[in-house]
Amino acid sequence: MNRLVAFSRPIALISAALVAICASGMTLARKPEPSVQAATAGEKAAPEIQRLFDQAHVALRSGRREDAVAPAQQAAAISEQLPAGHGLRIRTLSEAGALFWSVNRKDLAKPALMAAARQIDGAPRAAPPEVSRMTFHMLGVIHRDEQRHEEAVPWFQRAVQVLADLPENTTQAAQDKYFALVFELRTLAWAQCRANHAQAAEQTDERRIAGCSRLTRQSDANACRDGKRTCVNRWMSQSH
């Protein structure tokens, strides 16, 4: 019996303390929600990532291309510490990949862009459409540069789809959409032709021409300067 009393006293004290806390309006500390934690992490990382990219761009403008690599690598490494699917993580990896490609470091560009694409696949709404589109476009370009046209095609297709899904709620939004879309369709048609998908390439080119018809000033778009093109011997050429 004495043991039971001795055991009950601590429990009673804890219960009394909890009652007192509730009565006084105090609340027990709660672990922040994951979304709050992610936002906080992004706010802390953003200034340093921006500083590193600024440093990389200064090096590029000064013609010191190799000096741009290390800051971009550091920015990518910081972003990898952010939660999966975080918008800043995706943007940083994508921007780093594009920068690596611009200085001919494709050995670094492809992994960074692939990492960004995986993050986009896991959280499709986390990144702005322009980031997703550029990520997919750059992966298509890298495969195209490697003469792996078959593998380039799906990436260009994904870039096209991002643009096709954009709203057209204002005249300017529609013009911006089709200006980018006709360029991406032209790029896709070329890759399809090089991959020996002649029919698909010509169908894509028809979509390009249809997109050009939506532009009020077609002459502003280089992708609209060609008429209908056909795929002959894996080469897109002007139809006559």
Q: Are residues 123 and 191 in the same domain?
A: no
φ, ψ for residue 235, nearest 5 deg: -140, 125
Q: Is residue 36 part of a domain?
A: no
Do residues 180 and 223 both lie within one domain?
Answer: yes
Residue 9 lies in a domain: no
Same domain for 153 and 100: no
| Residue 110: CATH number of its domain | 1.25.40.10
Per-residue pLDDT of the chain (240 residues; tens, 9 = 90+): 444 444 444 444 434 443 443 444 444 445 455 554 555 667 889 999 999 999 999 999 999 999 999 999 999 999 999 999 999 999 999 999 999 999 999 999 999 999 999 999 999 999 999 999 999 999 999 999 999 999 999 999 999 999 999 999 999 999 999 999 999 999 999 999 999 999 999 999 999 999 999 999 877 788 898 889 999 999 998 764
**What letter would DSSP give residue 169?**
-
In a domain, 104, yes or no: yes
Residues 156 and 239 reside in one and the same domain: yes
Is 37 part of any domain?
A: no
pTM of the entire predicted model: 0.81
- Domain span at residue 105 reads 48-127
Report whether 63 contacts 40 (CB < 8 A). Answer: no
Q: Evaluate whether residue 27 is within a structural domain.
A: no
